[in-house]
Amino acid sequence: MPFIPDSEEQVARYSRHILLPEVGGKGQKKIGLAKVLIVGAGGLGSPAALYLAAAGVGTIGLIDGDVVDLSNLQRQVIHQTADIGRPKVESAKARILAINPGVAVDTYYTRLTAENALDIIGRYDIVLDGVDNFPAKFLINDACFFARKALVHGGILRFDGRVFTILPGKSACYRCVFKQPPPPGLVASCQEAGVIGALAGVIGTIQATEVLKLILDRGRLLTDRLLDYDARLTRFREIKIARNPKCPLCGEHPDITQLTEHEPEVCAVKTA
Amino acid sequence: MQVTINGKPEAVQGGTILEILKAKDISPQMVAVELNSKILERDELASTVVKDGDAIELLFYMGGGR
């Protein structure tokens, strides 16, 4: 539901936004008209969805093919114990509506694939990466490039997190840094590695802030610079990333000219 | 010689980027390497010789999100 400036309830709900010169009634209206797709309703998607819903983002799309598992609850704060076994997109939708009934929530109880990615992403303005595996991260990066949608990338592992905002064709993309997924078994990626739960909150919330800045067209985005967070040392570091002329996707002579999917699953450092 | 690796000053023997990775027991397939704010191609790792004052970033894959 778009923000209605003459509604007393709406003005009260968003008063702390409206007070900000960077937002105001005009900016809050923009937030209400925005459509944001959150890929993965997990560690990063949870805090991002909670804050974007509270902020009054008019339409939030959620895509995730999993159900809530007991082991998710340590960090996936949008879900609750009673949600175990329920599709994550449904559990997240219920929580979003409890916070802000004005948000329109679209749910896709499926995995993002090369077949559905452009269609789904095409319905939104901004995409937030909250997935837990490399094939999906590359797929999202590529799909956002082809669909020319702004992307806020996030990653977490153990005590380390990372955020990187991508304006396709304008700023460096994920493949400007990482050309392709790592070979299977070399890099710990998901279940087996472990992650400090609160780290997901830090990174997902920074991603949500980037989304709001994109909507408002205010501030300086995390484009062409990668934010690295070391929770062990409580240290943030910024790494400059230039567009790579040899990028296989957005470089001068791209090899990737259509959407394909890397083989799942790179997450092969199995413990079980 | 003195270089900076991931923001930290470090004394290294010199040699190529690939040799520095080997000394740290890092497989080149595990990282993207940025030298003075420019991403290196994987086949440049063996031919790029480090110079005093170089800023090297070793960017590891970070695949989690859930």
To the question of pTM greater than 0.90 for the whole model, the response is yes
DSSP H or E run through A230: strand A225-230
Give the chain A residue whose CA is nearest to the CA of B5: A239
A207 vs A39: CA distance, rounded Å: 12
Decide if A99 is inside a domain: yes
- Residue A150 has a pLDDT of 98
Q: Which residues of B touch A133 (CB under 8 A)?
A: 63
What percent of chain B has a predicted confidence (pLDDT) above 70? Answer: 97
Asked if A238 and A228 count as a contact pair (C-beta separation under 8 A), the reply is yes
Residue B48 has pLDDT above 70, yes or no: yes
Q: How many domains does chain A have?
A: 1
Decide if A248 is inside a domain: no
A236 touching chain B per CB within 8 A: no
- Residue A111 has a pLDDT of 96
What would the CATH number be for the domain defined by B2-60? 3.10.20.30
**ipTM for the assembly:** 0.92
Which of these, A89, A186, A179, A182, lies nearest to A141 by C-alpha position?
A179
B6 touching chain A per CB within 8 A: yes
User: What is the residue range of A131's domain?
Assistant: 34-240
Asked if B65 and A136 count as a contact pair (C-beta separation under 8 A), the reply is no
> If pLDDT is split at 50, 70 and 90, which confidence band does A265 have?
low
Instruction: Kindly report the average pLDDT of chain B as a whole number.
Output: 93
Asked if B57 and B34 count as a contact pair (C-beta separation under 8 A), the reply is yes
Decide if A264 is inside a domain: no
- Residue A185 has a pLDDT of 76
Distance from CA of B13 to the nearest CA of A (A): 24
Q: Which residue has tokens 């007070």?
A: A19
Provide the CATH number for the domain around residue A129: 3.40.50.720
**Which member of A44, A187, A244 has the closest CB to residue B65?**
A44
**Per-residue DSSP letter, A183:** P
> pLDDT tens, A214-237?
999 999 999 999 999 999 999 999
A181 vs B58: CA distance, rounded Å: 16
B44 touching chain A per CB within 8 A: no
Decide if A262 is inside a domain: no
Residue A266 has pLDDT above 80, yes or no: no
> If pLDDT is split at 50, 70 and 90, which confidence band does B19 have?
very high
Tokens of A144: 């956002």
Decide if A2 is inside a domain: no
- Residue A191 has a pLDDT of 58
A160 touching chain B per CB within 8 A: yes
Higher pLDDT, B30 or A78: A78
B55 touching chain A per CB within 8 A: no
- Residue A3 has a pLDDT of 76
Residue B50 has pLDDT above 70, yes or no: yes
Pairing of strands B55-60, B31-35: antiparallel
**Which member of B29, B41, B64 has the closest CB to residue A155?**
B64
Tokens of A272: 């079980």
Q: Which residues of A touch B62 (CB under 8 A)?
A: 155-157, 160-162
